[in-house]
Structure 1
Amino acid sequence: MSQGDLLNVVVEDDISDRRKRFGRGLVWGSAAILFLVVLAQILQASEVTDFGFANWRPTLYAYILWSVCLCWSQVLIRGEHGKRTLFVLPAALFVVSLTVFPLLFGLLIAFSDWNLASLTGRKFNGLDNIRQMWADPFYWNALRNMVWYCLAILPEYAVAFGLALLLNAEIRARKFFRVAFLLPLMLSPVAVSWMIGKSMLELRFGPIARLARWLGWDMPSFFGSPGVAKATMMLLDAWTFIPFMMIMILAGLQAIPKELHEAARVDGASPWKSFWEVTFPLMLPVSVTAILIRLIFKLKLADIVITITSGGPGGATDTVTSFIFREYRDRSNVGYGTLLAMVYLVIIIVTMTILMKLAQRFARPRT
């Protein structure tokens, strides 16, 4: 073996048992300190007892101590292999600090009565927020609306697939149409809300409303009745994000070898049968990925609703995110709004986990 090859070889260190015990004791001792500090601060925040902590800095200091001891223990226990771990471990601990601590703080707020308009400040209220959520018809109405918004992804996918097939064909000005169909995706949803929802669909002076009156619709109120308002919001959201699915499907179509379609034509397959037996099965992985990513965007739908209708009329267009936003902005109810956000986060995680498991089973390409 050459000298250059030896530089990439990590030799097992002769680490004594005493050194390993010291490393394990270091990490477990610092972990115990972190646990006790966190427990003490939670008890104080819940007004069970008072340890005299003015803020959450002791928890931060205890976490930094545990992180340093964990990195040090890797070198003590594993030697050279532990040094290699230090290239990744500090960054991972930093990312954990940016996700776990805000999540724990959010859980603490979720079980508190904290209204910014109140002079009493935050108070621990146990399960009162959960009981309020369970009896809140507006929150359940927003969840039902999200089911309809998510089901709208299926026709959006069909339209996106059709546009992708069109742009993948040999048509004139194909490059121009590709750029033109991507324009809605380049616009901010807030800009779309103002240009179309607040301007073109305006009841009195909007050009689309005038066209509707000219065609015979006496009162073209696109946001006056619950059904029409919800359908209009779905169309606006679809117009904004259909190009996203279209460009993903188009990329998948261009990756399919042309020899497969030529072989299908030689075998006498019609265009429809060639699509159903060749194109669509090969596009299943891309299609499922596009739908799942679109679903993630759909579950966060809020900006168009907040800008145009604020959830009206009567909560017909409300989404969970827009409802939580109003709990913060209009009612200054931080505790209850945080609980709603936490419950919605759990729903999203469970839903996406189930769908991804199903996607792994049904999205295998077939030839």
Structure 2
Amino acid sequence: MQISAAVADGGHHKPAPRPNLARRKVAGRALVAIASLGGLFVLLVQILHTTGTIRAGFTDWRPILYAYLLWSIALGVGQVMIRGERGLRALFLLPAVLFTIAVVIFPTLFGFYIASLDWNLSSLEGPHFNGLDNLIALFNDTYYWNALGNMLFYTLAVLAEYAIAFGLALLLNTDIRARKFFRVVFLLPLMLSPVAVSWMIGKSLMEYRFGPAATLARSLGWDNPAFFAHPWIARGSIDAMDAWVSIPFIMIILLAGLQALPKEVLEAAKVDGANGWQSFWHVTFPIMLPVSITVLIIRIIFKLKLADIVINVTAGGPGGATDTVSSFIYRVYRDRSNVGYGTGLAIFYLLLIIVFLSVLLRLTSRRMQKVA
């Protein structure tokens, strides 16, 4: 009877409600909200103090770092309180997210802030807010737009680099003698620094008085072989040096793609009577299209950052003919000591790159879908 009563009592027993769970979620959301508002308040006070809007503030930006660390801790604790077990799993991703915010998002936002300042290092007044004056000066800067025009030439030259690299990759993918030796030799330029290349080739090999390239050009009938005096010749010479360094990178990626091609497809094309060109254009090239698009986009990204060869060889000359946006921004910092304007140029260029690459990726994605 006692056992039956115990069983009966157990059957009528119900688990107690858990009001603490709801309270914990509310407390977690409140913790995250308070920490976020506190961090934004500290950041706003420092920005207003730096721009001279208010007198109260901090002498440096170190309190912003402390506020960010406290916000990070509060965010982690809040996630656990709100989401429980899932919040604990999210803590493994939280360091990567916080690192991205710290080294990517915050510097970008801080760059927008600096771009709104009139900050010249040679001035004793220090930085002060000037609104959109840097943006207005940017649109009226003919040298900056000239550099953007040069970037169009350098970017289109990537197609020629791709064609040469594809030809070399096809050559090294065939059964030729000393194939491994040629693979190593063709990769040697990739191992050199662009700065070393600019001095070894631009300052020595192509030196117009005693350089070997100039001597050879004179023997071929060029009276004044100045590779960096005429705008188009100078622009082509700069791009040739950059291509010499970068073509091996494109070649090795394409070679890896060619070696991964299914041999059955190529053999089937030969059985169907396709010659070498038809096999390449209708079989090899379409299959290699994903690899080609990937390596082209990567190469374009690197090309958009071209600066070191230009800075060391021509410094943008003659008359800005070889200037890139990066080399021009470098001179704005170095020669004018204008931090605010230089940062504004860099931010505007970054936005152009984002728009350009977004459109390029959209177009290539549509092209890939048509091929598929």
Which residue of 2 is the match for residue 182 of structure 1? 187
State TM-score, norm by structure 1. Answer: 0.94
Equivalent pair of 1:285/1:364 in contact (CA under 8 Å): no
Q: Which amino acid aligns with 1:123?
A: H
Identity across matched positions, percent: 61
CA distance in 2, matches of 1:52, 1:280: 62
CA distance in 1, matches of 2:19, 2:162: 60
Which residue of 2 is the match for residue 284 of structure 1? 289
Question: Is 1:236 the equivalent of 2:241?
Answer: yes
Could you give the per-residue CA deviations for residues 64-120 of structure 1, whole angstroms, max 9, x where no partner exists?
221111100111111122111112213321331122222222222111111111111
Question: Is 1:302 the equivalent of 2:307?
Answer: yes
Measured after TM superposition, the shift of residue 366 of structure 1 is 4.8
Could you give the per-residue CA deviations for residues 332-363 of structure 1, whole angstroms, max 9, x where no partner exists?
11111011011111111111112122222223
State TM-score, norm by structure 2. Answer: 0.92
Question: Is 1:101 the equivalent of 2:106?
Answer: yes
Equivalent pair of 2:45/2:57 in contact (CA under 8 Å): no
Measured after TM superposition, the shift of residue 214 of structure 1 is 0.8
Question: Is 1:217 the equivalent of 2:218?
Answer: no
Q: Could you tell me which of 121, 137, 140 is aligned with 1:116?
A: 121
Structure 1 residue ranges without an equivalent (≥5): 1-12
Q: Which amino acid aligns with 1:267?
A: D
CA distance in 2, matches of 1:292, 1:14: 55
Greater mean alpha carbon deviation, residues 313-322 or residues 235-244: 235-244
Could you give the per-residue CA deviations for residues 244-267 of structure 1, whole angstroms, max 9, x where no partner exists?
111111110000011111111111
Measured after TM superposition, the shift of residue 320 of structure 1 is 0.1
Which residue of 1 is the match for residue 322 of structure 2? 317
CA distance in 2, matches of 1:243, 1:91: 33
Structure 2 residue ranges without an equivalent (≥5): 1-17
Which residue of 2 is the match for residue 139 of structure 1? 144
Greater mean alpha carbon deviation, residues 355-364 or residues 268-277: 355-364
User: Cα RMSD between the aligned structures?
Assistant: 1.5
Which residue of 2 is the match for residue 25 of structure 1? 30
CA distance in 2, matches of 1:301, 1:184: 16
Q: Could you tell me which of 78, 83, 86 is aligned with 1:81?
A: 86
**Which protein is bigger by CA-based radius of gyration?**
2
Could you give the per-residue CA deviations for residues 316-336 of structure 1, whole angstroms, max 9, x where no partner exists?
000000000001111111111
Q: Could you tell me which of 246, 252, 257 is aligned with 2:251?
A: 246
Aligned residue-pair number:
355
Equivalent position SS for 2:105? helix
Measured after TM superposition, the shift of residue 231 of structure 1 is 1.0
CA distance in 2, matches of 1:14, 1:353: 49
CA distance in 1, matches of 2:196, 2:285: 35
Equivalent pair of 1:15/1:79 in contact (CA under 8 Å): no
Question: Is 1:329 the equivalent of 2:353?
Answer: no
Measured after TM superposition, the shift of residue 50 of structure 1 is 1.7
Could you give the per-residue CA deviations for residues 262-312 of structure 1, whole angstroms, max 9, x where no partner exists?
111111111111111110000000000010000000000000000000000
Measured after TM superposition, the shift of residue 15 of structure 1 is 6.0
Which residue of 2 is the match for residue 207 of structure 1? 212
Could you give the per-residue CA deviations for residues 164-211 of structure 1, whole angstroms, max 9, x where no partner exists?
100101111111111111111111111111111000100110011001
Which residue of 2 is the match for residue 358 of structure 1? 363
Equivalent pair of 2:25/2:81 in contact (CA under 8 Å): yes
Matches for 1:55-66 after TM superposition, within 5 Å: 55-66=60-71
Equivalent pair of 1:222/1:232 in contact (CA under 8 Å): yes
Equivalent pair of 1:112/1:124 in contact (CA under 8 Å): yes
Measured after TM superposition, the shift of residue 14 of structure 1 is 8.8
Equivalent pair of 1:190/1:304 in contact (CA under 8 Å): yes
Which residue of 2 is the match for residue 197 of structure 1? 202
CA distance in 2, matches of 1:157, 1:25: 55
Q: Could you tell me which of 166, 170, 192 is aligned with 1:161?
A: 166
